[in-house]
Amino acid sequence: MNKKINRLLSLQMNFFSSESSMKIQVNRVEVVTWSVSALLILFLNTNLKTGEIRWEWVIAITVSSFLIGSVQSYLMPLLIRQAADWTVQKTIGVYALCVVVAALVVGSSMMFLMQTLKGEHYPLRAYLSSGMIYILMTFAFTSVYMIRALVDRWRSSLLKEQQLNQALLKAEYDTLKSQVNPHFLFNSLNILSALIPEDPENAVNLVERLSKVFRYNLQNNDRVTVDLGTELKIVEAYLFIHKMRFGDNLSYRIDVSKDEWPRQIVTQGLLTLVENAVKHNECSSEKPLKVEVYAVQDGVMVRNNFQPKNKQFLDSTGIGLKNLKSRYALLTSQKVQVIEDDQIFEVKIPFV
């Protein structure tokens, strides 16, 4: 486990060390792009036979270039902020549309201004060819900014993935450590020893479910998310074990349609919440504990009657729920919701 975390930290350090070189490369591309564009403007307004340069058009197009640059400095950051949750394809599509509209507006305005100043009439073909030139020129100017934005998004996505992997490794380690807790094993073995002579069939069921819980932790070390159906089977096995321990003092209900089973949630998310419900609440004949797991519109809810154990016997740091919130924050903009009053404690985890 420590080797995995150290390897992730090493990758993250290497990633930041390459950040400055990436910025230098992007700046070089920007300088080259502007230089090529300037030469292209000069070439397109030069008579190759006479060598005469139409300086009025060179100045006009240069002014247009600065105007397009000003529009870029306003529109492109706005587009990138709006595209934070968009796919790359949608981002590029909207970017291309903005470029075409901005280029046609600036190009047509400049053609109309030159036509007015020179007292000439330009045909539609001239407007169309000018529009194409301005579109190509605008793409040349703004593509550098877009490439930089996409590189930044990729860099941020890679960093979030590394952070999520670290959080997942820590959560899996803490959960596995909790499952292997001698107290947990002691209670399970006590239940098993009592069941073997009295109810051998349920003793076999207990062993099967106990093995499922341990196997699930070992087999999902590298998974960030898991389908809801798989996690529900482990939750049911975990609750069955404690049902054997507490008897009628513990009741549980899992009400999730099989249509929701393929939906994805954070690995061990439900198991963490059910563990918290059993660990931190009193479960006795005077105060029976009821745990419910059910699907809502955009997530899964875990609900239990709120009857915390005496605080002097309660060893809780809140790490489990805090870690679960952190993992969701790295994976999605949807948040883990906690609803609490004097009688009920509910936690909703969203689908990913």
Q: What is the mean pLDDT of residues 231-240?
A: 89
Domain-located, residue 101: yes
129 located within any domain: yes
Q: Are residues 286 and 330 in the same domain?
A: yes
Identify the residue with better confidence: 69 or 227. 227
Helix, strand, or coil (residue 294): strand
Which residues make beta-bridge pairs with 281? 308
Indicate whether 185 and 300 sit together in one domain.
Answer: yes
Q: Are residues 108 and 239 in the same domain?
A: no
Q: Are residues 330 and 243 in the same domain?
A: yes
Q: Pick the last residue of a domain from 105, 122, 157.
A: 157
pLDDT band at 55 (very low <50, low <70, confident <90, very high): confident
**Half-sphere exposure for 172 (CA within 13 Å, toward CB):** 24
Greatest mean pLDDT among 144-158, 167-181, 217-231, 272-286 lies in 272-286
Compute the radius of gyration of the chain from its Cα atoms.
Answer: 32
Assess whether 87 and 142 both reside in one domain: yes
- Sheet containing strand 250-255, edge to edge, reads 250-255, 289-296, 299-305, 344-350, 337-340
Q: Are residues 203 and 346 in the same domain?
A: yes
For 64, the token pair is 């247009």
My answer on whether 190 and 338 are in the same domain is: yes
Both 105 and 201 in one domain: the answer is: no
Residue 332, pLDDT score: 82
pLDDT for residue 309 is more than 80: yes
3-state secondary structure of 240: helix
The helix, strand and coil proportions of the chain, stated in percent and rounded to the nearest 5, come to 70, 10, 15
Identify whether residues 235 and 310 lie together within a single domain.
yes
Q: Which domain holds residue 144?
A: 2-157
Contact of 308 with 342, CB cutoff 8 Å: no
pTM: 0.51
What is each CA distance from 204 to 16, 241, 248, 306, in whole angstroms?
Answer: 53, 11, 20, 32
C-beta neighbour count of 244 within 10 angstroms: 23
In a domain, 173, yes or no: no
Query: Given this model, what pLDDT does residue 34 score?
Result: 58
- The residue among 124, 157, 190 that closes a domain is 157
Q: Within this chain, do residues 262 and 330 fall inside the same structural domain, yes or no?
A: yes
DSSP result, 243-275: HHHHGGGEEEEEE--GGGTTSEEETTHHHHHHH
CATH number, domain containing residue 213: 3.30.565.10
Number of domains the chain contains: 2
Distance CA 223, CA 265 (A): 11
10-17 CB contacts, 8 Å cutoff, 24+ apart: 11/162, 12/159, 12/162, 15/155, 15/158, 15/159, 15/162
End-to-end CA distance of the chain: 26
- Answer whether residue 11 is part of any domain: yes
Top pLDDT among 343 and 66 is at 343
Write out pLDDT tens, residues 78-134. Answer: 777 777 777 778 888 888 888 888 888 887 887 888 788 777 788 888 788 877 877
150 and 208 share one domain: no
Question: Does the residue 166 lie in any domain?
Answer: no
Determine, yes or no, domain membership for 104: yes
Claim to verify: residue 121 and residue 193 sit in the same structural domain = no
Distance CA 104, CA 100 (A): 6
Say if 35 falls within a structural domain.
Answer: yes
SS3 category, 88: helix
Q: Could you tell me what percent of the chain has a pLDDT over 70?
A: 75
Residue 43 in domain:
yes
